[in-house]
Structure 1
């Protein structure tokens, strides 16, 4: 009964300490004002024509998807990348590691009990013995021990726990950022591979035409109809295009290798056939929303804010160092000079040892730690503001490109049509003997350039949609949870 009473009293004191531990010296957190404009430039470029509330809901629903659309092959490749990419796997493991660190810090706020057993044998010299003779004493004890438990009167332990929690949440957001970055990188690389295939096909068509022109000029030269100048001009054009084909084949292979690396595994042969750049049905009507919505949507901004909250909590830790630290140590069990009597009724023993440490002189270390914590907080404020500004610029840049990219594609399409007709006319005039082969050569070069640049413009449009999608925080489900749900999730046992 004595042991039970002692432990009950110790636990009661610990519980009271938990109640008193509500005092925190950390400054009250206040989110810094976003250093950006209230609206994006060119925000009407991607407007959906719906009301603000409806547009915001549409944006959130759209951005929660894993892809921007695209063909079936891209969607299958994205699924493989999310499953196999090593960088994403590393960030997921890091989240679990930081979660474990948080659970360690959270455990420090609760008292702990340990079953202990000690055996001590001590010799006392005659000069120090009350009896004047050398003596040998033994002490045996066993029981339950409450190790030094800090009564968190000034919130030091609570602030440490809060800092650990915010660091964990920041690591989660870093994982979300990696998720978005992977979806964006795979999509861009896939579109780049499609562009390489299309440019290679165009180059091969141009090479076939150059081969035919060279053969015709050679026949004409051998028949004495064409000059050697025309023959060598056709030959030079053929070799130039052949070099372009080889270069584009190299670019295509490199693009494929880069995509395989991002996916984390070889691309299965059973994947659906790819579509063309022109047939990719991406979501191109994203309402940009407001910069204030970006603060709660983009994981990198949320991560920066969690880091700021952690720095804010660390100020509370540094301030608590100026105040007394109170710790409790307790023991309840049995103690006896003889091991055989250790568990006899008369051997019951208990110890209750509170300890208080009041900092008097630390050589300025506590003040320096507080200054360092405040400076770290200011650094995190600057990082948070910089992250917001960078996010704002990424959205604004994507909107600016979206404003003109369709005009560029229309112009390039018209240019290809005109260049095609010019090439047909120049070939006909050359065969009729009206123009020299140089006219055909120039027309062929113009057509090839126009076709390549049209592919590049289409690729730019798709890449810009991917950039806007990522800049707005797309690619992951940001369904919010309450503080209680977060705590329950973090403390759940594996």
Structure 2
């Protein structure tokens, strides 16, 4: 019977509740078991970074378009290969005055500052405060109190959670550097293409003006023949309509040149209308240089947009690691100290100090665990974006090589056509002097020659544009970049 009394809970006569001591112990055991189970289910290890897999590519299909050994590389100042001092001047001006490139440079500075912000999470936070309180109650003496104190809070990064955040922000910093390089490359390509188009318009305008003049001479001949009854009125009207069409095209060419010149002014950082490109002939001033293509594997380490995409994959890996480490117990230390007195002259005579270490178990927080799943899912997004960037880069290089190859072959055929038409034109003029052919046949031959020359000019400009595109697609001469968490300088490359 005594044994039964020992196991019956004691009932307090001073309180209305029962104190079940064994059940409290069971609650603590259950809580510890639950925490242990959650800890066993959680993965605290930061993931090891590996470059995302992409379809393999070992060589370019249009090797005949490459006239320089793959061992050579594209130079960073590749536009100088066109040997046009005015183009060099425009690109230099654009790199210092273009606002898009300034925005990208400013983003580098923001990303660099954010590294310092991330590092600040490892440091203790100190708050200082001071106050004076004066209270006056009717019929009583004035009450005064003075306080001076401070508080130090320090979340100790024993697992490296903050360091993972620093690594993630450092990777984002390097990605913004690569964005700047990509913008630099795009700007140089756009300036080059716009400049070539302006020179093409100049040459087209010159040839179109001569075409209008020749057709005016043909119209005069038709009018004379009509007056003599040799051709019907409709032939004169057809020729006049042809002159109207050619004049309209000439106006359009001049409009296109002005619009392109305005666009070029914006690229170089000059208000539209303030830049005047001197007229020139594209085929005489600019010739396409040979381009070394390198190997597809080199593209992954040289092309800035690919490097930026890979750095963002690395940043996503580090954010996953940070989220996983955030599940581990965190230790924080809080220290309070201060002085208080009812008289200002005795404030420094008293001092209090308190230290309160604490530990938290974040793995019990469902928000923390959900954060891990979110960051892991985000990795798949940036890995897919990296793969898309690589595939687009392969396509751009292959397409540029195809275009360069095809347009060079077209230029050969057009050059032969122009040469043959020049011979025909000379023979027709000789026959005119002998009276064998009419002036109209001479005009028609010259018109055919001018049309072929315009086609030759267009394909020459296209080859130049294709060469610029190929330079850009190959990474524009930037050196190889190995993406990793290795400590690197955070000074921008601009």
- The answer to whether TM tops 0.5 is yes
C-alpha distance in structure 2 between counterparts of 1:225 and 1:47, whole Å:
58
Describe the superposition over 1:311-370 as per-residue Cα deviations: whole angstroms up to 9, x where unpaired. 1011112212322121112245545454322223xx2332222121113643x3333211
TM-score, with normalisation over the residues of structure 2? 0.79
Please, which runs of 5 or more residues in structure 2 have no aligned partner?
1-43, 136-141
C-alpha distance in structure 2 between counterparts of 1:320 and 1:46, whole Å:
50
Query: Partner of 1:175 in structure 2?
Result: 180
Query: Partner of 1:9 in structure 2?
Result: none
Specify whether residues 275 and 230 from structure 1 end up closer, same or farther in structure 2 by C-alpha distance, changes over 3 A only.
closer
Equivalent residues of 1:73, 1:272 under 8 A apart? no
Give the superposed CA RMSD: 3.4
Q: Residue 355 of structure 1 aligns to a residue in which SS?
A: strand
Query: Partner of 1:130 in structure 2?
Result: none
Determine if the alignment matches structure 1 residue 41 to structure 2 residue 81.
Answer: no
Deviation of 1:260 (Å): 1.4
Deviation of 1:207 (Å): 0.7
C-alpha distance in structure 1 between counterparts of 2:370 and 2:80, whole Å:
49
Say which of 278, 285, 289 aligns to 1:279: 285
Query: Partner of 1:127 in structure 2?
Result: none
Determine if the alignment matches structure 1 residue 111 to structure 2 residue 124.
Answer: yes
Q: Residue 200 of structure 2 aligns to a residue in which SS?
A: helix
Deviation of 1:144 (Å): 5.3
C-alpha distance in structure 1 between counterparts of 2:469 and 2:306, whole Å:
17
Query: Partner of 2:360 in structure 1?
Result: 357
Specify whether residues 106 and 375 from structure 1 end up closer, same or farther in structure 2 by C-alpha distance, changes over 3 A only.
same
Equivalent residues of 2:155, 2:330 under 8 A apart? yes
Output aligned runs, 1:362-401, within 5 Å. 362=365, 364-401=366-403
Equivalent residues of 2:207, 2:454 under 8 A apart? yes
TM-score, with normalisation over the residues of structure 1? 0.79
Specify whether residues 321 and 479 from structure 1 end up closer, same or farther in structure 2 by C-alpha distance, changes over 3 A only.
closer
C-alpha distance in structure 1 between counterparts of 2:116 and 2:202, whole Å:
51
Q: Residue 398 of structure 1 aligns to a residue in which SS?
A: helix
Equivalent residues of 1:118, 1:142 under 8 A apart? yes
Equivalent residues of 1:67, 1:475 under 8 A apart? no
Please, which runs of 5 or more residues in structure 1 have no aligned partner?
1-23, 123-135
Q: Residue 350 of structure 1 aligns to a residue in which SS?
A: strand
Task: Find the structure with the greater CA-based Rg.
Answer: 2
Deviation of 1:301 (Å): 0.8
Query: Partner of 2:114 in structure 1?
Result: 101
C-alpha distance in structure 1 between counterparts of 2:131 and 2:480, whole Å:
54
Query: Partner of 2:451 in structure 1?
Result: 449
Specify whether residues 264 and 212 from structure 1 end up closer, same or farther in structure 2 by C-alpha distance, changes over 3 A only.
same
Equivalent residues of 1:63, 1:473 under 8 A apart? no
Determine if the alignment matches structure 1 residue 348 to structure 2 residue 351.
Answer: yes
Say which of 167, 181, 198 aligns to 1:193: 198
Query: Partner of 1:302 in structure 2?
Result: 307
Deviation of 1:248 (Å): 1.5
C-alpha distance in structure 1 between counterparts of 2:376 and 2:192, whole Å:
42
Equivalent residues of 2:301, 2:481 under 8 A apart? no
Aligned residues: 442
Q: Residue 353 of structure 1 aligns to a residue in which SS?
A: strand
Specify whether residues 471 and 102 from structure 1 end up closer, same or farther in structure 2 by C-alpha distance, changes over 3 A only.
same
Query: Partner of 1:213 in structure 2?
Result: 218
Determine if the alignment matches structure 1 residue 242 to structure 2 residue 225.
Answer: no
Say which of 264, 277, 280 aligns to 1:259: 264
Specify whether residues 59 and 400 from structure 1 end up closer, same or farther in structure 2 by C-alpha distance, changes over 3 A only.
same
